[in-house]
Amino acid sequence: MLTVSEALEAILREVDPLAPVSCALGDSLGLTLAAQVRSDLDSPPFDKALMDGYAIRSADIRSAGTELLIVDEVTAGRVPSRAVESGQATRIMTGAPIPDGVDAVVKVEDTETVGTDRVRILAAETHPEQNLIRRGTSMRSGEVVLEAGRTLRAQELAALAEMGCAQVSVRQRPTMAVLATGDELVPVSETPGPGQIRNSNETMLAAQIEHAGGQAVPLGIARDEREHLRQWIQVGLQHDVLLLSGGVSAGKLDLVPSELERAGVEQIFHKVRVKPGKPVWFGVLRRKSDSKNGLDGGRNSCLVFGLPGNPVSSMVCFELFVRTAIRRLSGHQDAKPQTISARLAHPHVHNDDRETYFPAAFEWSAEGPAVTLMKWHGSSDLQSTRHANAMAVFPAEPVEYSGGDFVDVILW
């Protein structure tokens, strides 16, 4: 049986980033760049005032109260009409280009006007370069501003906007079908009969997909009946990813692995040495395609995850395995789950030979990052996750922890 780490490597071996698409800049938040972007201009594009005030020559100011002749005014969006010579000043607004001859800007609050055409500088000295920024200081034309694979946040979007990139080449969001299986399931809007429960996994998985950057396509409930399951699997395989929940254990009606095989999906692994989530299944449908490398956006393959039906197992397997696949499909540089280190808030006896992911509450305590394990009634106990915002990770061997010991944590 694979370890979690081996399973993650197996997934990454099978997954490539989706084909690039052109996207309006305003719609690209959270996506990743498919190609590097170089600057088409210096930033700032001209020597620029950072304050409202007067553009002057710093060498002119040798004592408090120096008076200068105002020879010009320049507002943002305009250009100076003349240079500033010794004994002169130009009234200037934040963001306006500074005139030739100038090496400093004095804030308006540090000046007084004298009559209609003179200004008194109150300070006894000014420093060269004060309150101005030179052309190209923060970025040079031709410089690589953002590398391929960069995730686009507000500040990256602003940098691209400054560069005039109204459209950007990004990785698509994967489309992901969600198919819950099981005769015990009824839709959320119905009242369960004896032995039945509502299909909460579809809602949960769709939300996890959305949060991870995919596009969820809920398909509803497939019965534990081969013909029915087969039809819905065919629908789901039209997407970049098909997530099934339930039907992957050792039970008599666990038809998912055999029906996936029949549909041509190659099994990569079945079962991982993890708790919860041991029965998790992963495979790939490879399509013959006329287009090369899917660069036209056509799909060459579909990744298929069979997640356990118990909600906590399903949730944990999603966070470990499916999120990793989504991040790689979406072009993120670090696809695997990131662990951080936090102190256990209480003692804990870990007694399992599987790597264990325990619902936990992470917080910033006075002593730094701390983690408290949730009361947990097993893998069907979704309620244990209501106050959890993380998973604490325990190794594939028994360990007794004292309060204050460090453990690895994956934040949700």
Q: Which residue number, 80 or 283, has a Cβ lying nearer to a second copy?
A: 80
Nearest approach in angstroms of CB 15 to a second copy is 22
What is the rounded distance in angstroms from the CA atom of residue 234 to the CA atom of residue 41?
50
Entry field: residues in the chain: 412
Q: Which residue number, 174 or 359, has a Cβ lying nearer to a second copy?
A: 359
Nearest approach in angstroms of CB 287 to a second copy is 29
Nearest approach in angstroms of CB 406 to a second copy is 10
Find out whether 105 and 98 touch, Cβ atoms under 8 Å. yes
| DSSP code, position 192 | P
Which sign does the torsion angle of CA 362, 366, 368, 370 carry?
Answer: negative
Nearest approach in angstroms of CB 219 to a second copy is 13
The angle formed by the CA atoms of residues 369, 372 and 378, to the nearest 5 degrees, is 140
Q: Which residue number, 62 or 193, has a Cβ lying nearer to a second copy?
A: 193
CA 101 to chain centre: 46
Nearest approach in angstroms of CB 88 to a second copy is 19
Q: How many CA atoms lie within 13 A of 120 on its CB side?
A: 7
Nearest approach in angstroms of CB 202 to a second copy is 8
Question: Residue 296 has which token pair?
Answer: 């036209």
What is the rounded distance in angstroms from the CA atom of residue 175 to the CA atom of residue 194?
35
Q: Which residue number, 300 or 383, has a Cβ lying nearer to a second copy?
A: 383
Q: Strands 348-350 and 399-401, how do they pair?
A: antiparallel
3-state secondary structure 116-140: CCEEEECCCCCCCCCCEECCCCCEC
Give CA torsion, residues 3, 7, 9, 11, to 10 deg. 180
Q: Which residue number, 88 or 384, has a Cβ lying nearer to a second copy?
A: 384
Q: Which residue number, 211 or 346, has a Cβ lying nearer to a second copy?
A: 211
Does residue 276 have a cis peptide bond before it, meaning omega lies within 30 degrees of 0? Answer: yes
Nearest approach in angstroms of CB 268 to a second copy is 23
Q: Which residue number, 198 or 350, has a Cβ lying nearer to a second copy?
A: 198
